[in-house]
Amino acid sequence: MSEKQIFQTSSKKRWYAFSWMSRALIIGMVVAIVCVVYTLGKIQVPPFPTINTNAPLTAKSTAKLKNSKQFKEFTVVRSELEKIKRDRELKHMKHLGNKNRINMGFYVSSWSNEVRQQSLSDLRRNIGHLDMVAMESFFTVPGQDTIVDKADTAALNVIHQYKRKAIAQISNFSGNDFDGQTVRTILSDPAKQQRFIDDILIKIKRNGFSGINIDFENLQLDDRKPLNDFMARIYQVFHSEGLLVSQDISPENDDYDPISLQKYNDYIILMAYDQHSIESNAGAISHQAWVEKNLDELCSKVDADKVILALACYGYDWPVGKVGKTLTYDNAVILAHNYNANIRFDRESANLNFSYKDGTGMRHDVYFTDAATYFNLIRKADDWGLAGIALWRLGSEDARLWSFISRSLDHDHLAKEPFDFEKISKIKVGGYNILVMVRFWIW
C-alpha cells in the first residue's frame, strides 16, 4: 500500500490555485466595501424642480387672480375661546357610550398618475388604521343628468380585501373647477333628479360600495330647499338598500343648511380647510381657532355623533401676486430643504410656513400642516365626541400621523396614557433630521 495519504500529491498546482483564489476573494471584498462606502457617501435628498414663475399667466389664470379674494387675518377673542371650550365640554358630557372614532381617508386618483400612485401606496400601507375610504369615483357630466364612472378598481380591491367600507364620492368637479350650474339644473328638475339618482345606484351596486359621499361645491344657490329635497330623496332610496349617505360641507357657506341636512345624512363631513386657498393671498390652511369656531357653530346645529371633521393634509405654495399651487407634506419639506428655508411653526394657527426665492428670483410663501396640526385637531374631535375624522387626502399627509391615529386622544385617555411628543417634534428628509423644533402645543 502507498504511504501517501488520500489526495496527497507532490505537485504545487493546488497550492497555487488556492493562493490565487484567496487573493482574488480578498481583493473582491475590499472593492465591494469601497463601493458601498462611496455609494452611501453620495446619497442625497432628491432635487426638487425649480419652478419658472416668470412665465406669463394664461387668460384663465389671470381671470382667477382678478377674482381672487384677499382673506383677512383670522382673529378670535378670548371670550369666544371660552365659549367654545364650554360648548365642547357640554357636548362631551352628552356624548354617551364608548363608540370608537371613525377614521376615514379620502382617496384621489383622477388628478394624475403620480397622485394615484401616492394614494394607492398610502392606502395599501395604512388601510389597517382606516374604517372607511371615500373614493373619488363618480363625476357629474356638464349639462347632463348622468355620471361618469372613474372608480379605481385597484383601490376597491384593497378596501374589500381588508373588509373596510368603500364609500363612493360623487363630485361636480369638472375640468379645473366645480360645476355648480349642472347641479343646479338637476336640482330644479325632479325627472332629472330621479335619472341621476338611478344612475348612481346602478353604479354603486355594480362596484360593491357601502355608501355614497355627496361632494357638491360652488353651488351658489338662491334657495337651499332644492338641495335639501334632493338629499331627502337620496337618503330614502339609499337607506332602503342598506347604504350609507354622507355629505361634505364647507365652513361659512350659505349653500348648506346643516339643520335640515342632518336629517338626510348618516354623516356630515366638515371640510375644515382652505381658510386660504390657491386663489387667495398666502395664509394658514386651517387655523386651529378657526377650525374650532366653525366646529362649534356646526355642533350647535347638528348632533356631534353625525359630524366627521375633515383635516387638511397638504399645503400651498404662493408665488407673490400669482395663483398658488398645491403641495404634499413631503413636497413642502423637501422644497424648504433644497432652498435652505427656515420652517416656522406658528403657535397661534398651529400651521407651518416658510418663504424662499426660486431660480428666477421670484419670492414664494408656503403654508402647510403637519402631524402636530393633525394631533391637535383629532384631540379636539375626540373631546367633542364627534363621529370621526377624515384625511384630505391619502398620500399627501405627514406620515407621522399614523403613529397616533388609531388611539383615543381625548383628555381622559391622554391623562391615562401620555403621548410621546418627541415622535412629532422633528422634521425629517431622506431619513435625516434636518430641523428640530420644540413646537408641539395644545391650546
Which of these, 278, 261, 361, 269, lies nearest to 315 by C-alpha position? 278
Residue 298 near residue 342 (C-beta atoms within 8 A): no
Q: What is the pLDDT, as a whole number, of residue 355? A: 98
Q: Rounded to an integer, what distance in angstroms lies between the CA atom of residue 308 and that of residue 297?
A: 14
> In sequence order, what DSSP letters do the residues of 207-230 get, joined into one string?
HT-SEEEEE------S-SHHHHHH
> In sequence order, what DSSP letters do the residues of 349-383 get, joined into one string?
T--EEEEEE-TTS-EEEEEE--HHHHHHHHHHHHH
Cell of 310: 375633515
Q: Determine the residue type at 102.
A: I
pLDDT (tens, 9 = 90+) of the chain, 443 residues, equals 445 444 455 555 565 665 666 666 677 676 666 665 555 454 443 333 333 333 444 455 445 444 455 555 566 667 777 767 766 665 544 443 334 899 999 999 999 999 999 999 999 999 999 999 999 999 999 999 999 999 999 999 999 999 999 999 999 999 989 999 999 999 999 999 999 999 999 999 999 999 999 999 999 999 999 999 999 999 999 999 999 999 999 999 999 999 999 999 999 999 999 999 999 999 999 999 999 999 999 999 999 999 999 999 999 999 999 999 999 999 999 999 999 999 999 999 999 999 999 999 999 999 999 999 999 999 999 999 999 999 999 999 999 999 999 999 998 999 999 999 888 888 876 554 544 343 444 44
Instruction: Say what the pTM is.
Output: 0.80
Those residues whose C-beta lies under 8 Å from the C-beta of residue 339, and which sit 6 or more positions away, are 356, 357, 358
In 28-174 the beta strands, taken as DSSP E runs, fall at 102-107, 132-140, 147-149, 165-171, 173-174
Residue found under cell 377650525? 291
Q: What is the pLDDT, as a whole number, of residue 13? A: 59
Q: Which SS3 state, helix, strand or coil, does residue 325 take? A: strand
List, for residues 314-324, the tens digit of each pLDDT value: 999 999 999 99
Q: Determine the residue type at 108.
A: V
Q: Rounded to an integer, what distance in angstroms lies between the CA atom of residue 333 and that of residue 328?
A: 9
List, for residues 172-202, the tens digit of each pLDDT value: 999 989 999 999 999 999 999 999 999 999 9
Cell of 417: 396614557
Q: What is the pLDDT, as a whole number, of residue 415? A: 92
Which of these, 289, 223, 257, 376, lies nearest to 73 by C-alpha position? 289
Would you tell me how many other CB atoms lie within 10 Å of the CB of residue 171? 21
CA atoms within 13 A on the CB side of 113: 0
Name the DSSP letter for residue 71: P
Those residues whose C-beta lies under 8 Å from the C-beta of residue 313, and which sit 6 or more positions away, are 329, 369, 374, 391, 392, 393, 396, 397, 398, 401
